[in-house]
Structure 1
Amino acid sequence: MVETIAFSGSIFCDAALQLGEGPAFDPATGIAWWHNIKGKELHELHLESGAKRVHAMPFLSSVIAVIDPERQLIVSDDGLFVREIKSGTLTKFGALEDKPGNRSNDGRVHVSGSLWVGTMGRTAEKGAGAIYHVAGSTVTKLYDGVSIPNSICFSPDGKTAYFVDSMVNRIMRVDLDPATGLPTGDATVFSDQSGNPGDVDGSVCDADGLIWNARWGQGAVDVYSPDGTWLKRYAVPASQSSCPAFIGAKADRLMVTSAWADMDDEARAADPHAGKTFDLGIIVNGRFEPAFVL
């Protein structure tokens, strides 16, 4: 275990979400986006003005990515959709799998413009999900029998992917073809966290190749070096921290989502910031996410 660095940040948004997840930032508009998966909401906040909007969604969405200045990719339990930013109109783009009991979870765009995204059972049934590679309309299953896919992120050069099954808690790494985002070998253990408390949840990889991981159940963001060394832990004032994203004009800030899912009244009273979204309050050497290529 590493020493925990006290929280020095602020509440980025005080809306308490049942399952805050999938944050992303669009540098062209200065808007941060994130999901309330179980609440069927898409949240947006303009950093400079503080203007906030909440969009009701017709499904359980978990991933959002830029396509171009007018459009976004949305991944949900009903498949892949193109969303018109101005009108909010959703157009079905494709399907991931034919498993009505599943929903999408963690995902991220690779430098090639392809997408990695995971699916899972709605109540985290063991082995019900998978991790997929999406290149345009072509969907390829990469890993099957996954219970809670998380921590999907990529090295800045696109040559390495990281991912985890949070039910197993061993962060994996695999070599990639940087031109396609497809694996070129077998996945190996990057960091075995199975003996430590809390679940490895969402991650981002910064410009130096450091992995920033939200630790569900521990109220923290952990930092790992590219060789797997666990370097630091930053406290977050909500126990179920779920996913980070680089934000700001220089991608030098880190927002972190959280959740109150599965908490009873007593647990929520003891965790008053559960479900809120935070600015970690430190300077990071982040980078902007690539656009998804249709």
Structure 2
Amino acid sequence: MSRSASPCLGEARAIVEAPCELGEGPSWDARRGEFRWLDILGRRFHRYRLEDGDHRSQALDELVSFAAPLTSGDDLLVTEHGLKERDHAHGGVSPWREVEAANPVTRSNDARIDRHGGLWFSTMGKAAEAAAGSLYRLHRGEVFCLKQDITIPNALCFSPDGRLGYFTDTATGVVMRWALDAEGFPLRQDGGAFLQDGVAARPEQLAEPEPWADFNDDPGNPDGAVIDADGYMWLALWGSGRVARLTPDGEEVGHVRVNADQPSCPAFGGRELTTLLITTATEGQREHKEGRQDGATFLFDLSEALPGVRGLDDPPIALR
């Protein structure tokens, strides 16, 4: 059975039909009971309260790809110029840490909170320039570079025990898996910890991640991903109209159908973390296909399709 022929678990329903040019970075804010996501190219920050369906959005002055809740109650924005704090009550944005701020070629892309309370985030070329991107981790107030020469970084997510990290360079079609140390960093080539006597490893000193799931023969390209409590990955396949569920061994065992050609990223939410939110995009599409909901944002109820399957909590990040 080919990956794209895996059993269909059902079809997600659109909750916000106004199209995102590049919907990305979905996450769940348990404190407020709301999903949040970004339209990177449309420069908007979206919030959707699950209890009553209240949807709000805010215009942004720059390209932003992720909004992480902070222990302070505010948000940390991953932007084209670095990390910025957003006052949740009033929406004001202030700089916190510059990352590639002087590089006009790049912007931020995929990001995800890890199991250790850190934040992995990435950059890429605004026109997907080859090898222009990098991968970073925010940990205890410091930003570390983990990998360079990436074209389209995506699929950042982590095993429930925090000992494995996943990512893809979408241009390669392969999802990679990285062994992590006790602090949640990639291991060095010699198997040692990333931080030794307070000194961080350089990207070239780290062990290479291993290929985990190959999608080169699939109609879709690997994009954003999230891991459930059983260690299964939910992976958006850009160009295929589906979000695939993969076993810890990388085998596709089911998928959620999305009425949009370019699903970009999923995230778990809801009181029991059994609701999957899926962003999509219209980027690069030259014409609208009748009946399709390209760029819409979707929900899928896992409690009916796969009873007992749920996501993992993402704790707020402490900056100080």
Q: Report the TM-score when normalising by structure 2.
A: 0.87
For 1:118 and 1:68, the matched residues in 2 are separated by: 22
Deviations 1:241-288 (A, max 9, x none): 0000001111111010001111112xx134630000111233231122
1:262 to 277, 281, 284: 284
Tell me which residue corresponds to 1:16: 19
Map 1:193-232 to 2 at 5 A. Answer: 193-232=215-254
Does residue 277 in structure 1 map to residue 302 in structure 2?
Answer: no
1:167 aligned counterpart, secondary structure: helix
Deviations 1:116-158 (A, max 9, x none): 1111000111111011112244222111110000000011111
For 1:291 and 1:189, the matched residues in 2 are separated by: 30
Tell me which residue corresponds to 2:198: none
Deviations 1:21-52 (A, max 9, x none): 11111111101100011010000111112211
Shift in Å, 1:190: 0.8
Unaligned runs of at least 5 residues, structure 1: none
Runs of 4+ residues over 3 Å off in structure 1: 6-9
Q: Structure 2 vs 1, CA of residues 10 and 285 (structure 1 numbering), >3 Å: closer, same or farther?
A: same
For 1:195 and 1:94, the matched residues in 2 are separated by: 40
Tell me which residue corresponds to 1:154: 158
Shift in Å, 1:167: 0.3
1:127 aligned counterpart, secondary structure: coil
Map 1:1-294 to 2 at 5 A. Answer: 1=2, 2-5=5-8, 7-68=10-71, 70-97=73-100, 98-179=102-183, 181-184=184-187, 185-265=207-287, 268-270=288-290, 272-283=292-303, 284-294=309-319
For 2:27 and 2:272, the matched residues in 1 are separated by: 14
Unaligned runs of at least 5 residues, structure 2: 188-206, 304-308
Deviations 1:44-103 (A, max 9, x none): 111112211110111110011111252111101021011111011112110222422100
CA contact (8 A) 1:96 1:132 kept: no
Shift in Å, 1:105: 0.4
RMSD, aligned α-carbons: 1.4
1:255 aligned counterpart, secondary structure: strand
For 1:74 and 1:143, the matched residues in 2 are separated by: 21
For 1:6 and 1:188, the matched residues in 2 are separated by: 29
Q: Report the TM-score when normalising by structure 1.
A: 0.95
CA contact (8 A) 1:22 1:35 kept: yes
For 1:91 and 1:68, the matched residues in 2 are separated by: 17
CA contact (8 A) 2:108 2:124 kept: yes
Name the aligned partner's letter for residue 84 of structure 1: D
Q: Return the index of the structure with the highest Cα Rg.
A: 2
| Worse-matched range after superposition: 89-98 or 163-172 | 89-98
